[in-house]
A and B are shown apart, each in its own frame.
Chain A
Amino acid sequence: MTTAEKIIDMQEVTIQFKAAQASSRHASFVQAVSQVSLSVFKGETLALVGESGSGKTTLVRSILELVPLTQGTIYFRGQALQAMSSAQRHDMRRRVQFVFQDPYGSLNPRLSVRDIIQEPLLVHRLGNQSARLERVDLMMKQVGLSPQAASRYPHQFSGGQRQRIAIARALASGPELIIADEPLSALDVSIQSQILNLLSELKSATGMSYLLVSHDLNAVHHLADRIAVMYLGRIVELASKTMLFNAPRHPYSAALIQSMPKLGTVKRMPGRALPGEIPSPINPPSGCAFHPRCERATEICKQITPTMQLLDAQNSVACHHPLEVTCSAF
């Protein structure tokens, strides 16, 4: 794994916004993402999990420069984004595609499905007209839509079908990495599993890398190879799928796993439900941001923010008192 190519490498990424407020006396900042270092390797599916407000969407949007970085660097295939020429940037946008959460808002209602799917081809000037139309047909088949529907408009489709269109659009330019931001959350539960299966099939068929953002641990369990757990803008744990679901080291990860509906293969961890709510990113707690809700918190947790400690080649955790691994977990 260490010799595998890193598609995306994020180093100490910090993202702050100025908060909108009534009085301009003190400018308050929203600390959306704090010093996140994370990589996506070629061919893997990395999941980013956390509650809403954890900064996951902000983080992944910054990869495509939809959100500006306050500090830190993002590398794409070894090249720093800031150092790229505009041609290189443009090329990166062909290779990294985005699937949004809302299937109703992410498709231009005025364009036909054909025009929506061929947009990446047009923007990146890939192929002539007949080649593009062929590609559109192919993409539609690949996501399970009848190519005859290409002339229709988004409002003529259901939510699940629209999300398929969005996925087809993401596949059109033959990307190396697809970033999917909560692709299932806006769909009906019965449809979610269909789309999940589609993503799973595409993963095995194409060997693409995925960066999946989700708060749905079932989906994550189905698709991910590695999982990064985020809390209030920081990564608190980075683990392989087996590790995370069977022996989470961070109390927050454990609580998340614990609160999942029963899964067939995953053992339930003992413990109580998580008290309280995720704090506001404008005024994060001192030290470890999780300490107000953590039953293992001590004085040091209030003072010092824990950094990521490497546990082994694949797993790390940022906690002063990580959970113990019991042999029976495996």
Chain B
Amino acid sequence: MTAPVLLEDQERPVSIWTLRIRILAQDRMAIFGGLILLLMALLCNCVEAFEYWFGISGLETDLLARFEPPSLSHWLGTDEAGRDELMRLLRGGRVSLSIGLIAALGSAFLGIFIGACAGYFRGKVDEFLMRFTDLVMSMPSLPLLIILAALDLTKLGFSTDFVRSGDAGYWRIVFIFILLGWTGVARLMRASTLALHSSDFVLAARAQGASTFRILSVHIIPNAISPVIVATTLACGRIILVESALSFLGVGIQPPSTSWGSMLNNAQELLVSDPPLAIYPGLFILMTVVAINFFGDGLQKAFNPRDMGR
């Protein structure tokens, strides 16, 4: 028996994910962006706590205190209905951020599934799925989103009460973004799957008799997921931008719920009465999307396959 080949004992197991996170950690802009996002998420989630501690409200209207300038009790002043502007912004942020996150994740799951099937099974399945993807991609997205957001759901059989509820409005928005948003991820996934299909370790798994499910979940998807992660992160930002546009146009999030976009719904009138109120929501959107893009760009650089393996 040959003498065992010993490795340096101080070398610890370092997975590819660990290596990438190390690279990411050195990207200052990405870390900065990530921290901003965490901070934003934290603040938005603690709205009720803030309101309780400071005795202010982003929900209760007070028509005697409209358009107040910034003060100690209202850091950003009050809005056209007397509500605390900052609290309203945080509430809106909760909605906008969560929509961005959930819709991006939902699109990713759908896209991964469709893309992996297309790339793994190839042939007719691939052709059909890709034609379908192309079809969805060639539809005009903003008009279609407007239509889908403004549809009268009662015509589809839903009850009027359900349709009017805030929850329905929220989930409808998430749903339509997923409905139209999976195509990018599907293409990425398909490309990776096709490339991996002929790699030796996938062949080894097939030679072993591994089930299709195992091959996809253990071998293919983990190795194909990096571009999907980057794309999904950036998609968060895009969804936030589009949702705010829809709400601005009046078809997105409806009162009494708020999102940053819906706070800008009557912005053009606000420009005359109280300009800062029209500026703040957009500023918050800008900050958030910039942070997301910084982070996403950092991920892109960290996940560059150039650095890995060989």
Contacts and interface: CB of A to CB of B under 8 A. Distances in A.
Direct contact of A and B (CB under 8 A): yes
Interface in B161-209: 199-201, 203-209
B280 to A, nearest CB: 44
Contact of A123 (B11, B200, B214): B214
Contact of A146 (B5, B203, B222, B310): B5
Contact of A144 (B2, B13, B201, B206): B2
Contacts of B204: 98, 100, 106, 169
B209 A123 contact: yes
B121 to A, nearest CB: 16
B304 to A, nearest CB: 15
Contacts of A110: 15-16, 222-223
Contacts of A142: 1
Given A64-B207, A102-B200, A112 B4 contact: no
B3 interface: yes
B35 interface: no
A108 B208 contact: no
A153 interface: yes
Contacts of B9: 148
Contacts of A146: 4-7
B18 to A, nearest CB: 9
A149 interface: yes
A161 B5 CA distance: 8
B209 A201 contact: no
Most chain B Cβ neighbours within 10 Å, of A156, A161, A164, A198: A156
A124 B214 CA distance: 12
Contact of A112 (B15, B201, B210, B211): B15
A182 to B, nearest CB: 12
A70 interface: no
Nearest to A108: B201
A109 B209 contact: no
A124 B7 contact: no
B interface: dominant SS: loop
A267 interface: no
B12 to A, nearest CB: 8
Given A109-B223, A164-B5, A89 B209 contact: yes
B301 to A, nearest CB: 19
Given A89-B209, A93-B208, A123-B214, A109 B308 contact: yes
Nearest to B15: A153
Contacts of A148: 7, 9
Contacts of B205: 108, 119, 123
Interface in A85-121: 89-90, 93-94, 97-98, 100-102, 104-112, 119-120
A155 B208 contact: no
A116 to B, nearest CB: 8
B11 A156 contact: yes
Nearest to A92: B209
Given A100-B203, A102-B200, A105-B201, A194 B2 contact: yes
B238 interface: no
B272 interface: no
A152 interface: yes
A246 B5 CA distance: 37
Contacts of B16: 109-110, 153, 155
Contacts of B151: none
B223 A108 contact: yes
B298 to A, nearest CB: 21
Given A146-B4, A146-B7, A156-B14, A93 B201 contact: no
A145 B7 CA distance: 8
Nearest to B2: A144
Among B4, B13, B204, B223, the most chain A Cβ lie within 10 Å of the Cβ of B204
A66 interface: yes
Contacts of B66: none
A109 to B, nearest CB: 5
Contacts of A102: 200
A93 B309 contact: no
Nearest to B201: A108
A58 B4 CA distance: 34
24 contacts: A94-B209, A100-B203, A101-B200, A102-B200, A106-B200, A107-B201, A108-B218, A108-B219, A109-B16, A110-B15, A110-B222, A111-B218, A123-B208, A144-B2, A146-B7, A148-B9, A149-B7, A151-B13, A152-B12, A152-B14, A153-B14, A156-B11, A161-B5, A194-B2
Interface of B: 1-7, 9, 11-16, 199-201, 203-211, 214, 218-219, 222-223, 308-310
Given A105-B201, A146-B7, 5 more contacts: A100-B200, A102-B200, A123-B205, A144-B2, A149-B7
A-B pairs, 4 with minimum CB distance: A93-B209, A106-B200, A151-B13, A105-B200
